[in-house]
């Protein structure tokens, strides 16, 4: 049993982490909920018990075994090292450490071995990848192992919950006909599509798109994989969707692609065009798997494949992936509570 802390407990992802810990029956001996002073004193229920939100401190982390962070990069940069130095294993959902060479970037279905250092110890800080990257690499992994991927072209259709509470509030206010003064999505999002997720960089790609490029290479352990992304915000409450084109080095049989994906950990194939069955965000909402369908050859290019990938961005794209990383520590991390 582990003493688990959640930093950012009152946000959408933080609250989802609490739900996932309970749903997956993670061995929690005690739950420590942390957030800003504004949220301190708020109560959140976990396993029929009310827990009071506190502000973070070094002393608190000294009693914690596993700390799940979901309070943004600026907060993680302040508290992650404090928590790790205090002996907690930090699983960070922000972008703060993802591309740090010595920090593993982990999707448990793809590279769980990276949780541990070359000496066999647990990495003190483990980064949780970007939501759009997570769902894509879960599907890419078995295909890369079989056929070796040369290039990926991906367009995303990302839920407003990717911007947290403000993203959801903006959509709801606009649907109700109210003016939402904070342009969370850069433009009105209700009845609209915005081809910008995060800020632009000098090369014309957004930060979100660059995350997909760089994180995919790091997680897959292959710098040769080319990724060309376009990320788009859509007026959907929950669930990210992706249209993905993959070019392989080796030829493939479509039946083998279906077999590989049907056998892949964490993947559910939904593909029956005759009955109009394919992954939908409304059906992936609240689930932990990654759903894939519309599996078909690219008729314009040899050894290329088209896919449609959908996942709940708050669960597999964030909270569930973090908890799955924590599950890999069970039995390998000695709880502090046993020695107190």
Report the distance separating Cα 256 and Cα 145, nearest Å.
13
The alpha carbons of the chain give a radius of gyration, in whole angstroms, of 20
Pairing of strands 89-92, 125-127: parallel
Report the distance separating Cα 330 and Cα 146, nearest Å.
31
- Annotated active-site residue 144? The verdict is no
| Contact partners, residue 270, CB within 8 Å, separation at least 6 | 277, 278, 279, 291, 292, 293
> SS3 sequence, 106-137?
CCCCCCHHHHECCCCCECCEEECCCHHHHHHH
Length of the chain measured in residues: 340
Collapsed DSSP state (helix, strand, coil) of residue 178? coil
- Residue from 144, 185, 187, 240 carrying the catalytic annotation: 240
- Annotated active-site residue 187? The verdict is no
Report the distance separating Cα 210 and Cα 230, nearest Å.
10
Q: Do 156 and 229 meet the contact criterion of CB atoms below 8 Å apart?
A: yes
- Residue from 131, 144, 185, 187 carrying the catalytic annotation: 131
Query: Known catalytic residues?
Result: 131, 240
């Amino acid at each position: 049993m582990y003493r688990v802390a959640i930093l950012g407990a009152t946000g959408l992802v933080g609250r989802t982490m609490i739900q996932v810990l309970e749903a997956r029956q993670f061995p929690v001996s005690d739950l420590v909920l942390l957030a800003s002073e504004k949220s301190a004193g708020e109560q959140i229920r976990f396993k029929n018990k009310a827990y009071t939100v506190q502000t973070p401190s070094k002393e608190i982390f000294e009693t914690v075994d596993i700390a799940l962070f979901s309070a943004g990069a600026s907060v993680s940069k302040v508290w992650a090292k404090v928590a790790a130095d205090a002996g907690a294993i930090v699983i960070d959902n922000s972008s703060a450490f993802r591309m740090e060479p010595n920090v593993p970037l982990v999707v448990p279905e793809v590279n769980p071995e990276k949780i541990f250092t070359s000496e066999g110890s647990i990495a003190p800080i483990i980064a949780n990848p970007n939501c759009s990257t997570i769902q894509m690499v879960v599907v890419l992994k078995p295909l890369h192992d079989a056929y070796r991927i040369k290039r990926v072209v991906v367009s995303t259709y990302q839920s407003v919950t990717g911007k947290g509470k403000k993203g959801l509030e903006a959509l709801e206010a606009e649907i109700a006909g109210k003016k939402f003064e904070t342009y969370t999505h850069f433009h009105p999002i209700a009845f609209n599509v915005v081809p910008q997720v995060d800020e632009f960089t000098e090369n014309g790609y957004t930060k979100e798109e660059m995350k997909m490029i760089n994180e995919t290479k790091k997680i897959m352990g292959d710098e040769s994989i080319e990724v060309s992304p376009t990320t788009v915000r859509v007026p959907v409450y929950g669930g990210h969707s992706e249209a993905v084109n993959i070019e392989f080095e080796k030829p493939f049989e479509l039946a083998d692609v279906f077999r590989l994906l049907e056998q892949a950990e964490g993947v559910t194939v939904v593909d029956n065009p005759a009955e109009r069955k394919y992954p939908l965000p409304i059906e992936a909402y609240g689930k932990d798997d990654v759903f894939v369908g519309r599996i078909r050859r690219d008729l314009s290019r040899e050894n290329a494949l088209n896919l449609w990938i959908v996942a709940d961005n708050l669960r597999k794209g964030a909270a569930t992936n973090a908890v799955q990383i924590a599950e890999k520590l069970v039995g390998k991390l000695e709880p502090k509570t046993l020695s107190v």
